[in-house]
Every structure is written in C-alpha cells, then in structure tokens.
Structure 1
C-alpha cells in the first residue's frame, strides 16, 4: 500500500530541529474562521523505514464557521542539527564557566544528543523578535566524568505567511552565577512570558558529604570550572530556573531557591500567576505546591507538600489531597544557606532503630533513601528548602510517587493534568515501607492523572492557603495497558494506547492534551493528541526506534499561526508542527 508520508531520516550522531508546514495555511483561512479541529491519528510504524524515522502520517479535520470541512495532513520539517555550526557556534555543545566550548583532547566539542524542552516565545508582541529556548538534558562524559549541561537561546525568524521558522543564531544561556545548570529537563512558558526550566535528579547531599572527592557533583564542578581541584556543592543544584529574554536578545537566568530543592521535571503555573505545581521525577517522590507572595514573581513564597489520602484503587486510583506547609522563604536567604550548610548541619542520622524511636527520629524513604532522620534545632528552614522531599516526608507528606513527570493546566476547567510514567514501586502496596499511603495495582505503562482545584482551602494545620487554585483531589484520566506477553513487534504495552507518558502540554483553544512518550514498552515512542471533551486519543507522530518524544509546547496563536513543538532525544530531534487554530471568541 502506498502511503503519503513526510519522513526525516536518521543522521549519524545528529539531532534534527524539525518544524511543520503551516496546516492553517493549507485551508487558506484566517484564524477567526476556524470553528474546531479534530485530529485523525496515524497507524503505528510497520516498516524498517518508518521505525527508523521521525515522521507523521496524521491529519487534522478543520471545521470552519460556515460548516465546511477540510482535511489537512500534518507535516514535519527540520530546523537545525546539533554539531552544526550556526553563526559560528556549535549547536548542543557544552560550555564552561567562562563561556568557552569544552573540547576533548582532539579538539572536538562535547555535543549533546539529548534535547528536551522547547520554549518558543516572542518579545514585544507581533512586531518583536522570536526566540526559542532549548534544554540539552545530558552530555557525553569525559575522562573526569559528569559534564555541565546546556541551555540555549535561539534567534528565530518566522515567515508570516506560511508560519515556517528558521534559526539564525544560537547562544548559551549564562548560569555562571549559580554554578551552572544541572540536568535541565522539561519546562514551560510562564504566563508573564519567561521560560521556566528545571534541574532534574538533584544530587544526594548525604552521599556527596560521605565522599566529596568521588561524587558526581565534584566531577561536574571540575569540568565546569576547568579546575582539577574543585569540590562541588550539591546544594547549588535541584531548582526551578527562570530565563527572561530582553528585546535586544540578552538573557537573564536565575534559580528560584525559595521554590524548594528536588528533582524538577517541570512546573505548571495557575491562572492567578502565583500558584505553582511541580513534577518531581524519580522513585519515591513527592507532589509540591508553591504559592508566591506576588503575582509574576517567584522569588518569595510558601512551599507545601501533598498527602495522598486514597479513596479508590480502581482504574489507576484516586485520592483526596491534603497540603502540609513546609515553610516560607525568599530566594536570597536560601541561596546563602545553600552556600554554607552541609547535610550534617541540617540532620541527625542514625541506623539504630531502637535508639531512633526513643529519641525523636523519623524513618522515611524519600527518593528511595530508607533512613532515620531528625532535623537539628533551628534548621527547619534549611531542611524545608534544601531537602524538601526529606523534610516533607518527616512532616507526613506522601513520598511514594513514581516517575512523576510533567504537569499542565487546563485553565477553563481549573484542572491540572499530571503524567505518571510508571505506576510502580512506591505507588503499589508495600507494607515494609515506612508509610504506605499509595496502594495501587502495578501499571507499568503508566497513567495521566487529573487534579481538580478550588478556592478557600486550608492546610493540614487549619491555616488558610492564599490561593484560588488549590488541588483538592486527583484521579486517573487516561491509562496505558500492559500486555501479558510481547506482541509481534516487541511491544510490551498496547501500541494503540499511550505508554509511559512524559512531556504533556494542553491547548486551551483546541481542548487537546498533547502527550509525549518516554517508553521502553513501545518499540517506537509516540506523540498523541487527546481531546478532553470527546475523549478521542489520536497518534500523531512516531519517533525513531530508541528515541524518546520530548519538548512539547502547545502555542495557540503566534502571529496568526499555531504550533506544537515536539522532538525526540537519543536519537534526537527538536521541532514543531504548525496546527490549525480556533477562534478565541
């Protein structure tokens, strides 16, 4: 059977920055004339060519206000490749503290093959410039070990008629004032037009203190500072980052210490521009909420951790959510603490259970660390913001979530969607764990949860929470399906359902949740479109075999065009589809 397709072939050691042709332009209609959009999914790849490529055979049915319809194929194009030189700079290269490219002994730059987040934004409205911020989640290791990671600002030009994009310049974002960037994973565009990023898998400060010379933090520091005698500081890493892009193309990057320290996958900001929810990736992780003192300013606020009070173990499970206040802080005070304190300054530790029970210790299992801890007098603030998960567990918050990934807001319905890539480990019944709040059947293919928010809520201590967007409950919205045995293509999860959701992004106008997979259960990872009203799930893109789908960003209107940023890593791509747009009225 002859199939119409647009395929981007795999290139050796290269990452493509794909785009999509302007679907709306194919209808020759202005945004205001489009009433609705329905995605028509593609079949799973079934040839070697398809399985080795980043491609789409999906389409969109565009319904106009006059009732007429047009079916438009989705198309996928390339922007740039890591290792390629743009305006004298190498895409995806690692940089040291002085802004120099880090090279091997043959003079070749270390180049990432793991792009993750894309944030496309405009400065000064329609007449302003476009910029694209990219995360590069990992780097090849050198003889020292752990390498500094990279975040890039790309200058972009847009064809106002077709919507096609082109990168004309790239520049690494400077985080030298903060010790560089640690494992930047997902991110989002804030409501006030800044990029909110992440530092995933925060280094274990207890393990570092036990052997600082051999820790991955020290490896990182020696590469970043180009100093063989440097000793790393774990408390410099594990934060939400924020990048402001100025009209002249200059950037300012900060880390928000007052938002706590954990394994940030991404953050999602409520419509009040003050309330923020986190994805905390890894095993035995925790759900957090942050309420900033001021709108559009994340430099000071109150941090809360969630308690899961289970109400059902059926269909992915459900729970009422209770919030435990960890503390209030501002960035500057926690940044100063991060420079000076160590793990042993904050906690007492024992391995003697009998002694621990008699002397006020608490057994926790945060991030898989099964340990007896007690906060030292006067160190509660340091514990809350430098060891947020450990401190939350001591206070009774649930530290049993597994592979909690990205979150995204549905503003119209006041809901949040959360990807849980694997419902395993701490989320199953484990009577030997210190606590066992979450007791769900194992679902390796994962789930997406829906959380409802409400105003006039109180924390566990009975104190009002100063937000109209407090999560009150959560339940599974969309489930993967484990197979009892691999199918003929090697899938261990149903290929016609999503598996191991990672990046998710919601389009308000399309009423569509876009889902990117990071799965070993599908032979190829897929990207999906899920309409939250019709409940229709459509496969819209397939990544190369071994490649994780990454970098989702749904853009409803950018100078008259709509985009879905989407790519893959290992092998890598970063890019977007142009999508039909729906009249905001």
Structure 2
C-alpha cells in the first residue's frame, strides 16, 4: 500500500532524517541485518524515516510501511516484526546504548563523578564480533562507559542508532563515551580468582555450584579519589556476588582492575538464591535481592519429591550445601525455602571478608529491589512475580534494617480510567506486622528439618493461605492440619491452602506469616496483589533530601518535588484482567512502562502516577503484538540521576535491548 505524505508530513520527514531521531531498522526479528534494505526501498522516505506516525494517518502509514511498499517493502524491514519506521522516538527518550544479541541490560549504576556502569547479561554464545578493544560478547559482561560524565550530558541528545550490521548487533554500542569491559564470566584476573568470575562455589570452597553468565546489579563504593570497589550480583541458583577493586586514570578515564583484590563473596552455609538487582544504602553498604527460584505462591509444592529432582532449585541449593548429593531428595539436608528470598546487606564491605546479613524483617518474597530513603529508615520494595505486592518497610532505628514494621499497599485506581499512560492509583498502606530478624530466624529454623519425605498430597509442610486468613482474622490458634479451615474455602482456596501447615497446626498464633509468606499475609489483609513483574525501584537521594528536608544539594536547581520511580516490565495477568484493584487496558501489556510516586513529608508516598509507556503495533507477519523499537520494551531497572532524568535498562523482545535515558520534564 502506497501513502502520500502531506506537506506537513514531508516537512516532518525531513526533520526526522536530519536529526536521526527516527530509526528504520529491524530490532526484534532474527533477520535484523536485512533491515538495511528498508531505507533503500522504492518509497524510502516513507519507510526509512517512519515520520508518517507524526502526521495522523501518515503515522499509521509508517507502521504499514514495514509490510507494504513504503520503503521497507515487507521483508526488507525484517519481516515487519521489529517496530521499525513506526514513527519518531518517544519524546524524551534517548538511546544511550545497546547490548549484544541475546543480552538484556542490567546493572546500571552512576557514581557521584558521573561514571556509568552497566552489564550485558546472558548474551548469545554465538556472538563472534569484536569491539575496538578486541572483546567478544558471548558471555556475561561487566563494564563501564569511560570518557564521559553522565551528569554533564546535555538535555538535547542524539540517540545511538538501532544496530544493523553484525558488528553492531554483536557488540555493545554507546552513543557517548566508550564502553570498557571490566570482567567477563570465567575471567581469573591473573589467577586471583582461581575458579573465575561468576563462578559460585559450594560450601566446600572448591566445587563450582554454578558458572553464571548473568551479571545483574552493580554498586560502586568509593574508597578514595578515582578508586573503589565494584560489587556485582550474579543472578543464578545458588546466587553470587563479586567484588572487584578498580582504579581510574584521571587523565584518560581508563579503568583498571587491581588483580590483588578481587573475590566472589562467601554467603555462608545456606547461600543465596538468584541475586537480582540491588542498591547502595545511604550508609554505603550494598543491598542485594534474592528473586526467583522458589515455588512462588505455591510453597506447599517446595518439598514435593516430583519437583525436587534433577534440574530443580531444590537440588541446586542442596548441592551448594553438600556438593556430593545427587538430588535434593537424597540430601541429608533438604533446603529450607524459608532460608531464601530476602534482602541481603553486605556489611563490612571493604574488609577482607565482607559479611552478608539477611534482613528477615523486610519480608520474604521474590525481591527485585529495595531502595532506602535518606532518613535511613523508610524502604520501598518491589516483588518481581505474577500477582505481586508493593511493600514498604520502616526500620525501628536509622541505619539498622534488622528490625521494623512491614506494610503492604492497597490501591485505588482512578475512576473511569484504564489507559495505562494516564491512569494512576491512590495508595493506602496496610500494616502487616513488626518484627526483628533474630525472632524471625527462630521461626525459620523450625522448618530446617522438613524434607521431601514429609510431603503429603493436598497438604502443606509450610505456611498456607488458611494460616494467613486465620492470622488476618485474629484467630488465637493456627488452623488444623487435618481439618479444612472454612474461611479459606469461603475465600476460594482449595486443597493444601485450606489446611493449616504441618509445623504450626493448632499452635498459638504469631506473626511469622507476615515475614515468611509476606504475599499471603498482605493478600489476607486486603492489600493489592496484582502487579505483574514489578521491577527496579529507585530514588535520587540528593533530590529526595532537598525536596523533603529543604537542604540544598542540587546545584543550579531548587528541587521542590522528588519522586520514587519504578518499572513494570510486563503489564499482564492481574493488571489487565478486569478484576480486583488494577484494571488497566491491555494496550501495552507486553511492553511495560514506568511509574513514579511523589515523596511527602517523612518520605511517605500516597499516589502512583504513570510516566512513560511502551508502544505496541500489530505485526502483519504473524499477527502478534510487538513493541516498537523507538519506545520502551519491558523496562527492567531504573536509576534516577541528579538532574531528574532517569536511566532505563530493557529486558525485552528487541533484537538488541537498549539502555535508555528519559527526561520526565518533556512530558510534564
């Protein structure tokens, strides 16, 4: 189908070509390199610049152009699957970098000096192209952008183009500065790491439990001018974290690794699981998050022998505890699921032996991230799972996360609104319980003896929804293990979740459910448990403190409002099912978006508002919904800069995922 541009459309097309804001290239299909033919199509202006999307009907022509004859001519644009030519870049977005084929963007972190660290997680093992430093990106990669202070980037930026050639698609491309690899999976740094970076050892200190190509969170702790430690999560089962001593040449901006000071941290007898994103506390300690690998909302299945065999999380953890076991079912120590899925603080981070501390009082669930406010007490936490909960923790004492009160959010959606880009939510905080990690650990220990031989079909060896409902109802005792609890049946639960758990059945009620099964407890108390893939959550501490406390920390700007930002990668399931508290349109369900919350006195929040959403179109190749390459595709984590702009790392469907910079002021 051929479309004729209006005069306005022609003008916009010329502007787009001049500014290179419109990228007409494949970004999701495997035939991405073929996308080069798009700009050479017969009506190349329409397909190449994609500005048709700026001109009403012409905007639709931009999308059609991928599959018609508008310069992309169907397969010339990678079969129309990549969002190419669908229009100008989403206003306010700048493509700062792209990662290689197969990789997602992880670990974005910006230092006080404007140094930007980020990683390429699980890139394709078939990548063969080399960058200017001779590096090949076929395994997990940790690096930094050298030669540029990200804080000094002007607001009027030009994006890095969508990768087209093999060289561009298989390496890390940056719009500004140069990407420098600091370490890759297996690097031993001159023998300092005998087993290699990303290799997690069992408790015997010799057996490799897992070789991870999944570097995630980065946190940098300065120890002097142009020197410091880089902490990196390795998202595997069992999980890991590395610490690398770095030095930066003040003149060249080049970074070097001190090979005498590199390590994989020791997480002790139980280890960690799936160390995902994280943050640096205001007092300078890394906070790592244990995310996936449990049975989610179905804890009763954890010790099911049919689910604890070869290849299971249970077996991976059992082999960490004792490297000689075959499967968890054969292990002398069956892993206790309540030992995992917490926020872990790395105390004494610069010592010869950093000390990890699990903060049980902050709740157990699939933690993506936690962010501590400048008051050193208030913490906001995200749960990355289907039908997750938004949590808040308030510590009893500043700088001490071992004791405090856990809250869960109850949402009220804007009346008469369902469009993701314009729909917000009011927040009511429901108090769950107060506790301290010492007391909670004694409850956890009661489950250490549970094994697969204790499993009974239709019952639970662990805490159940019946237990949560009885707790929320104020019952004096836990429900029976042998008799179904009627309120749980009335609430719609079946089988194991209608009976009390094995360990607590008939015992005096306590608050353990709030900390060991935080989602069940929050749901029983009426909190909203409908979020889908609630990802990274972030605040800029300088902006937050200036807005809330009136201090003057941001040069040349008076900060009256500061925001906590968070990303939702996949707005599906409970968010779009027309049930419960969240009832959004499914328009961008596969592409996700970003929200923010304005900080109130005391670092409280009571309102969630949308900031920027992905953009979908219908692929005529197979009828599937796709995410436009010039908009967000499943944002994973977010970092807030000193000037209020945000960095967004993608974990999406594009051929090459992007590290975006977004300026919220564009669309205020």
TM-score by length of 2: 0.65
Q: Deviations over 1:472-514 (max 9, x none)?
A: 01021100011111689x9921111111000111112x32100
Q: For 1:220-231, list aligned pairs within 5 A.
A: 220-228=317-325, 229=331, 230-231=333-334
Instruction: Kindly name which structure, 1 or 2, has the bigger radius of gyration based on alpha carbons.
Output: 2
Larger helix percent: 2
Query: Is the 8 Å Cα contact of residues 202 and 262 (structure 1) preserved in structure 2?
Result: no
Query: Is the 8 Å Cα contact of residues 362 and 394 (structure 1) preserved in structure 2?
Result: no
CA distance, structure 1, for counterparts of residue 658 and residue 216 of structure 2: 15
Task: Tell me which residue corresponds to 2:288.
Answer: 197
Q: For 1:301-316, list aligned pairs within 5 A.
A: 301-311=404-414, 312-316=417-421
Structure 1 pair 260/290, CA: closer, same or farther in 2 (3 Å)? Answer: same
CA distance, structure 2, for counterparts of residue 308 and residue 389 of structure 1: 15
Aligned to 1:151, which of 221, 235, 241? 241
Structure 1 pair 309/487, CA: closer, same or farther in 2 (3 Å)? Answer: same
1:534 counterpart = 2:652: no
Aligned to 1:240, which of 324, 343, 353? 343
What secondary structure does 1:94 align onto? Answer: strand
What secondary structure does 2:567 align onto? Answer: strand
Query: Is the 8 Å Cα contact of residues 361 and 373 (structure 1) preserved in structure 2?
Result: no
Structure 1 pair 193/428, CA: closer, same or farther in 2 (3 Å)? Answer: same
Deviation of 1:287 after TM superposition, in Å, equals 0.3
CA distance, structure 1, for counterparts of residue 492 and residue 593 of structure 2: 26
1:53 counterpart = 2:171: yes
Query: Is the 8 Å Cα contact of residues 7 and 54 (structure 1) preserved in structure 2?
Result: no
CA distance, structure 2, for counterparts of residue 372 and residue 96 of structure 1: 38
Larger strand percent: 1
Unaligned 5+ segments in structure 1 are 26-30, 59-72, 104-109, 139-146, 456-467, 537-585
Q: For 1:418-457, list aligned pairs within 5 A.
A: 418-431=566-579, 436-442=580-586, 443=588, 444-455=590-601
Task: Tell me which residue corresponds to 1:117.
Answer: 217
1:525 counterpart = 2:657: yes
Aligned to 1:253, which of 348, 353, 356? 356
Task: Tell me which residue corresponds to 1:268.
Answer: 371
CA distance, structure 1, for counterparts of residue 524 and residue 603 of structure 2: 26
Aligned to 1:184, which of 260, 271, 275? 275
Q: CA RMSD in A?
A: 3.2
CA distance, structure 1, for counterparts of residue 621 and residue 660 of structure 2: 21
Structure 1 pair 12/270, CA: closer, same or farther in 2 (3 Å)? Answer: closer
Unaligned 5+ segments in structure 2 are 1-16, 21-96, 98-130, 326-330, 451-459, 468-482, 548-560
Task: Tell me which residue corresponds to 1:512.
Answer: 645
CA distance, structure 1, for counterparts of residue 508 and residue 618 of structure 2: 53
Query: Is the 8 Å Cα contact of residues 279 and 288 (structure 2) preserved in structure 1?
Result: yes
CA distance, structure 2, for counterparts of residue 283 and residue 348 of structure 1: 17
Task: Tell me which residue corresponds to 2:554.
Answer: none
What secondary structure does 1:523 align onto? Answer: coil
Q: For 1:475-554, list aligned pairs within 5 A.
A: 475-485=609-619, 492-508=626-642, 510-520=643-653, 522-535=654-667
Deviation of 1:99 after TM superposition, in Å, equals 2.5
Task: Tell me which residue corresponds to 2:9.
Answer: none
Structure 1 pair 497/12, CA: closer, same or farther in 2 (3 Å)? Answer: closer
Structure 1 pair 426/262, CA: closer, same or farther in 2 (3 Å)? Answer: same
Query: Is the 8 Å Cα contact of residues 96 and 226 (structure 1) preserved in structure 2?
Result: yes
> For structure 1, which segment, 373-382 or 151-160, has the greater mean C-alpha deviation from structure 2 after superposition?
373-382
Q: For 1:377-416, list aligned pairs within 5 A.
A: 378-410=508-540, 411=544, 412=547, 413-416=561-564
Query: Is the 8 Å Cα contact of residues 334 and 385 (structure 1) preserved in structure 2?
Result: yes
CA distance, structure 1, for counterparts of residue 652 and residue 644 of structure 2: 25
Task: Tell me which residue corresponds to 1:458.
Answer: none
Aligned to 1:131, which of 222, 229, 232? 229
Aligned to 1:209, which of 287, 303, 306? 303
